[in-house]
């Protein structure tokens, strides 16, 4: 299977409710190593550019899904954002230290790194956006094919992951 084929499968797993919010997803592949990924809104929908040079095809597809999650965060409703903030607040209050991926974990650690950052609304929203985007990516990933839940102190415990995915299913049903 080509890189593009796997990316097409991942994008094809997007629930219609997500696709309607972000618009058609167009993917550009960039062979430049170290480029990373980025997205931008266009008149046609969402354009995602992903580096493929030294990246495995599955990882490139996950990068596309992460970009879709980031773009989706930008168009969430105020009620959805408040509910998301409530859920991640409950996780923090329960002492959940882990997260769904490394980027969200880094933002969570930055948020909880001290009294000043913990009180920062801007820092909270950065963490909320990162955790939301990663959760969307993994939610769609689980629709695309079977996934394994990672365990350990740096990972989101299964009960909290389930709670997030139930929210995704309610907001973005198949």
| pLDDT band with cut points at 50, 70 and 90 for residue 35 | low
Please give the helix or strand (H or E) that residue 46 lies within, else none: strand 46-51
CA 16, CA 18: separation in Å to the nearest integer? Answer: 5
The percentage of residues in the chain with a pLDDT greater than 70, rounded to a whole number, is 96
Is the whole-model pTM more than 0.85?
yes
Query: Tokens 């989101």 appear where?
Result: 156
Contact 169, 162 (CB under 8 A): no
> Left, alpha or beta for 150 (phi > 0: left; psi -120 to 50: alpha)?
beta
Concatenated DSSP letters for 128-164?
Answer: HHHHHHHHHHHHHHHHHS------STTB--HHHHHHH
> Left, alpha or beta for 23 (phi > 0: left; psi -120 to 50: alpha)?
left
- For residue 148, the model assigns a pLDDT of 80
DSSP tally for the chain: helices H, then strands E: 8, 3
The per-residue pLDDT for range 39-86, each reduced to its tens digit, is 999 999 999 999 887 788 888 899 999 999 999 999 999 999 999 999
- For residue 53, the model assigns a pLDDT of 77
Q: Which of 97, 87, 100 shows the shortest CA–CA distance to 161?
A: 100
């Amino acid at each position: 299977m080509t890189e593009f084929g796997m990316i097409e499968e991942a994008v094809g797993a997007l629930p219609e409710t997500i696709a309607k919010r972000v618009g058609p997803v167009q993917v550009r592949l960039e062979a430049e190593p170290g480029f990373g990924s980025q997205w931008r809104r266009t008149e046609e929908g969402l354009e995602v550019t992903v580096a493929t040079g030294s990246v495995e095809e599955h990882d490139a597809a996950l990068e596309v899904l992460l970009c879709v999650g980031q773009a989706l965060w930008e168009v969430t409703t105020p009620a959805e954002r408040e509910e998301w903030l409530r859920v991640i607040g409950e996780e923090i209050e329960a002492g959940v230290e882990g997260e769904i991926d490394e980027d969200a974990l880094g933002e969570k650690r930055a948020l909880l790194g001290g009294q000043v950052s913990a009180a920062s609304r801007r820092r909270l929203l950065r963490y909320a956006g990162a955790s939301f985007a990663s959760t969307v990516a993994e939610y769609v990933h689980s629709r695309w094919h079977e996934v394994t839940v990672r365990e350990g102190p740096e990972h989101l415990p299964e009960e909290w992951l389930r709670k997030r995915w139930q929210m995704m299913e309610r907001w973005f049903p198949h």
